[in-house]
Structure 1
Amino acid sequence: MLNLNTPLRIIQVILATVAIALNSYVISWYIQHTRSRSTPNEPPFLIFVGSWSLLVLPYLFLNPALSQSRHNKPSGRYFNKWAVLALDALTCLFWFAGWIALAVYRHSLIICLGHTCSAMYGGIVVGILAWIAFLATTILATLHVTRTRGGGSTEQTHGRWVGKPSAQV
């Protein structure tokens, strides 16, 4: 079975970092070039979402690896499939709300030219890509939860999540 968890998590780290950088540039421009010295609410929210993603991704990324014992048998000690599903779904929801809000704000601007607008467009695109990546991992986590619904054995519960076929007991 193909393990999509690791490549998707790496993509999510990259996208969260890029989203923080792009939206930080937009906020910096607003602070330097507007009289009100305030920024719109959307770029700071996307910085929060990127930071939130970077905070939860170590748990989401290492969770399947930590479930393995030293003999390469799933122990289930640190693995909680419900926590993975909840964090993935919440982060997916945050990314969806963030890129939608930034797109609506960008659309409401009368004039938007230069690097700041390019950074906003980039923030929207990165937000969409991050949302898709988290949607994919949320779907994978949901499939894992439904497949292991009645499973009491740790092998059945965690073997498939780390990309290894479960052994027949």
Structure 2
Amino acid sequence: MAINYALPLRIIQGVFAIIVLGLTAYVANWWGGHWHQFSPSEVNFLIFAAVWTLLALAYLILAPARFPTAAHKYGILAAEAVTMLFWFGGFIALAAFLSDRICFGGVCSAAKAATAFAAFEWLFFAGSTLMAALHCWRTRNTGVTGHDPKVEMQQGV
């Protein structure tokens, strides 16, 4: 029996993206209200990464389950890899931004928490990208263009 790891992993990735989205939206709102200027680009990039992730997860969940022709193994690998790179760049940029400034209070705690959750989100996407890359590697000469059936979302019985 194949272990279906995909749906729990996707749920965790979605929950973490929503958490980061909420935390960074709070930081961006505070920054605009207190400094009367645009929020830092590092915060804005993590907002983008969270929204991108929600769109990518919609593809990564729905394509294999409902639209198998759109679930090409390289398309899934590309979506995973790009999302992983966005999270890596986002959490590194915000961590570097926070490291050289005096930071205290609730907004600082929210920014640090967003950085930590973004780092874990990067780890989750690094793992799922590795699994997608392994699938592409193992099926490179077989003519298989679709997704790995072990990664497919199960239909209700």
Q: Structure 1-normalised TM-score?
A: 0.83
Q: 1:81 aligns with which of 62, 73, 77?
A: 73
Q: Paired residues, what number?
A: 153
Superposition misfits of 4+ residues, deviation over 6 angstroms = none
- Aligned match of 1:71: none
- Aligned match of 2:124: 133
* Contact 2:95–2:115, Cα closer than 8 Å, also in 1: yes
RMSD of equivalent CA atoms: 2.0
Give 5+ residue unaligned stretches, structure 2: none
Structure 2: distance between partners of 1:153 and 1:128: 33
Give 5+ residue unaligned stretches, structure 1: 68-75, 165-169
Q: Whose Rg is larger?
A: 1
- Aligned match of 2:99: 107
SS in structure 2 opposite 1:77?
Answer: helix
- Paired AA for residue 91 in structure 2: W
- Aligned match of 2:16: 15
Structure 1: distance between partners of 2:61 and 2:134: 17
Structure 2: distance between partners of 1:28 and 1:77: 41
- Aligned match of 1:98: 90
* Contact 2:30–2:107, Cα closer than 8 Å, also in 1: yes
Structure ranking higher on relative contact order (CA contacts 8 Å, 6+ apart): 2
Q: 1:162 aligns with which of 132, 142, 152?
A: 152
Structure 2 vs 1, CA of residues 95 and 153 (structure 1 numbering), >3 Å: closer, same or farther? closer
* Contact 2:64–2:147, Cα closer than 8 Å, also in 1: no
Structure 2: distance between partners of 1:132 and 1:58: 19
- Paired AA for residue 26 in structure 2: Y
CA offset at residue 157 of structure 1? 6.0
Higher helix share: 2
Q: Structure 2-normalised TM-score?
A: 0.89
- Paired AA for residue 159 in structure 1: P
CA offset at residue 7 of structure 1? 1.1
